[in-house]
Amino acid sequence: MNMTHYMELLAVNQPWNLLLYMAVPVILAETVAISELYLLYTREYGGPVRTVNKIASIMAGVIFVGIFVYLIFNAVVPITKAGAWRGPADVIAVATYLACVVPLGGIALIDLGLIGKGLNDHSRMGLHAGFVALFLVVAHIAMIFGMMDPAVLGGSSGGGGGHGAH
C-alpha cells in the first residue's frame, strides 16, 4: 500500500507507535478539550476538573515536545538527507503533525505559569482554549494528508520498512 511517512510511522511497531504518536497525544488533548468546555461554561477554575485539565495539558505538551525532538532527528533529518519525501501530501502530513508542538506546548506553558501570567483565570482559559482549537485543526490536517495516498498529489509511492521511528 502506498503511504505517507506519517501513516508508516503509525503502522510499524504495532501497537506501540500508534499508542505513543497518536493515541496518547490525542487522548490527552481530548481530555483537555472536554474539560475546557466545562470550565469555560461553569467558570469553576479551582476544582477537580481544572486539576485534570492542568495535568493533561502539561503532560500533552511535555510528551509532544519529546515526540517532536525525537522525530526531527530520527525521521525528518534522515528522510530529508536521503531525498526520500514522497511528495506534497507526505510533507504536509509530517509538517502539520510536528506543528502540533506549538499548541500543545502552548497549553503546557500556560499551565506551568510561563505565559499568560498577567491574565485572569477566565482569560487564561480562553487563551488555553484557543491553543486547543489550533491543535484540533492542525492535527486533523495532519491526519487527512497522512491517510492520503502520496500519489494523489503527484508524489511517489512508499511504504513498508522505509524511514521513520521504529
Structural domain boundaries in the chain: 5-148
pTM: predicted TM-score of the whole model, two decimal places: 0.88
pLDDT mean over 87-103 = 96
pLDDT of residue 92: 97
pLDDT of residue 162: 46
Q: Is pLDDT above 60 for 161?
A: no
- Look up residue 151 and give its DSSP letter: G
pLDDT mean over 133-150 = 95
- Is the distance from CB of 98 to CB of 50 less than 8 angstroms? no
Q: Is pLDDT above 70 for 54?
A: yes
- Could you give the count of Cα atoms lying within 13 Å of 128 in the half-sphere of its Cβ? 35
pLDDT mean over 107-131 = 94
Q: Which three cell numbers stand for residue 110?
A: 500556560
pLDDT mean over 149-161 = 75
Q: Is pLDDT above 80 for 28?
A: yes
pLDDT of residue 2: 86
pLDDT of residue 37: 93
Round the average pLDDT of the chain to a whole number and report it: 92
How confident is residue 157, by pLDDT bands cut at 50, 70 and 90? low
Q: Is pLDDT above 80 for 139?
A: yes
Q: Residues 6 or more apart from 135 whose CB is under 8 A from it? A: 29, 100, 103, 104, 107
- Is the distance from CB of 91 to CB of 85 less than 8 angstroms? yes
d(CA 139, CA 123): 24
Q: Is pLDDT above 60 for 166?
A: no
pLDDT of residue 159: 56
Place of cell 477537580: 48
- Look up residue 153 and give its DSSP letter: G
Q: Is pLDDT above 50 for 121?
A: yes
- Look up residue 148 and give its DSSP letter: S
Burial class (CB in 10 A: 0-12, 13-18, 19+), 165: middle
pLDDT mean over 128-152 = 94
